[in-house]
Amino acid sequence: MVAVDRFIENFLDACDFEEPVEATADTELQSLPQWDSLAKLAVIVLFDTEYGKAITGEDLKTAVTVGDVFRLLGD
Amino acid sequence: MSLSTLSHVRFAGMATCVPRRIISNLEDCRPQIRGDRARLVRNIGIEFRRLCPEWQCFSDLALVAAEALLEKLQWRREDVDALIVVTQSPDYLIPATAIILQDRLGLSQATVAFDVNLGCSGYPFGINILGSMIAAGGVRKGLLLVGDRCARLEDPIFSDAGTATALEFDAAAPPMYFDLNSDGSGYRAIILPIGGHREPVGVQHLLPWREDENDHWHYKTELQLDGPAVLSFSTQRVPPAVEKLLAYANVAKEDVDYFIFHQANRMINETIRKKLGLPEARVPSTLRDFGNTSGASLPVTMTARIHAELAEGKKRLLLSGFGIGLSWGGAILELEGAAFPALIEA
């Protein structure tokens, strides 16, 4: 079971935002400063390399909050 | 087919030519997006690219590379039996660029010449096609010209290059192993949708249709690339394909001197490298200095990074190309005494 706090830390690292960003599971992705194509690619890579889980751009489109992205990890 | 072996084909040499003009992804862009460019460069790993001037085609670069290679090999032009061009940026939609180059290179009219429409995956396919003609008999010496003119100033990924590779018949040559694959269900992932017979260019395509996050307007006549789809395809398909090819050739990873991957972007290439557990030292990269040179990226990397090492002693290489099609292919080659002129600028 992956802890959500640890996941959010990895998520923010992967997105590599120019300015430090605080986020919780309830943070809306669209409110992040650079939730752009680069960040989305980085999150797909994070899932693959860190969690061994293949997700697609379509999966990410269904997510509204950071918590929704976390839940893409499944069980 | 997928897995196959070719015998009696020798890798005789390679030359690479890039345009002189160097574009910096950090500086050669509008001031308002410069702030974001540092983050972009850090993540895609591409800082500099090469851009052809208006008049220059891919074939002009490939011609210079081919001339240099013929000179280095001391091959007589009348001895070249085949000229295969792998490109998606031909001089004209028709006729084939290879046939025009037969004449420009002064090759015999008895030369078999044709184009192959493949992009980023194309290099192993080209080696296999020309190698098969040599292994079958008839063709003794052949040239393979691979590359594209795909760079645009505002697109931070693509870069221009033309390359030439020489193969020849040699009964004592070590076997070449191949794994070549196609998945047309993903054809929309990288596509130039307008200009073919499915949707010819019309006046409705001459206005921009989409503004991107960097305030740049795009036309339908430009290449369209679905980033997440390409990333997923590359990082999911390439590592198992490399493992499959190694097992088929009965070669351990430790026995490969260099793994040369298509230079897509740093995210894709690093994911593939880590999934395969390969050390950086044996995976040369030209992303930072030459960007994504489409089908030319394997020769560009071999020439720009390890041409001196490849010219001396015996080296075993695993080559892996992947991209538009969707298409992906690998080859395991053993090189010895091949000619490798230094990188040429023209």
Q: Give the contacts of B147 (CB within 8 A, at least 6 positions apart).
A: B58, B61, B62, B86, B87, B160, B161, B162, B163, B293, B294, B295, B296, B299
Q: Which residues of B touch A45 (CB under 8 A)?
A: 231, 235, 267, 271
Q: Flag if A54 and B232 touch (Cβ within 8 Å).
A: yes
Confidence of residue B2 (pLDDT cuts 50, 70, 90): confident
Whether the CB of A73 is below 8 Å from some CB of chain B: the reply is: no
Q: Which domains does chain A have, with CATH numbers?
A: 4-71 (1.10.1200.10)
> pLDDT of A36-69, one tens digit each?
989 999 999 999 999 999 999 999 999 999 999 9
pLDDT attached to residue B31: 87
> pLDDT of B169-184, one tens digit each?
999 999 999 999 999 9
**Rounded Cα gap, residues B40 and A39, in angstroms:** 10
Domain range for B280 is 1-346
pLDDT attached to residue A1: 61
Quote the ipTM score. 0.91
> pLDDT of B5-44, one tens digit each?
999 999 999 999 999 999 999 999 988 888 889 999 999 9
Instruction: Nearest by CB to A56, from B213, B228, B274: name it.
Output: B228
Whether the CB of A54 is below 8 Å from some CB of chain B: the reply is: yes
Q: How many domains does chain B fold into?
A: 1
Whether the CB of A31 is below 8 Å from some CB of chain B: the reply is: no
CATH classification at residue B18: 3.40.47.10
**Rounded Cα gap, residues B337 and B124, in angstroms:** 20
> pLDDT of B237-270, one tens digit each?
999 999 999 999 999 999 999 999 999 999 999 9
Q: Which residues of B touch A69 (CB under 8 A)?
A: none
Arithmetic mean of pLDDT, B218-229: 92
Residue B342 pLDDT > 80: yes
Q: Flag if B227 and A57 touch (Cβ within 8 Å).
A: yes
Q: Which residues of A touch B232 (CB under 8 A)?
A: 44, 54, 56-57
Arithmetic mean of pLDDT, B188-207: 94
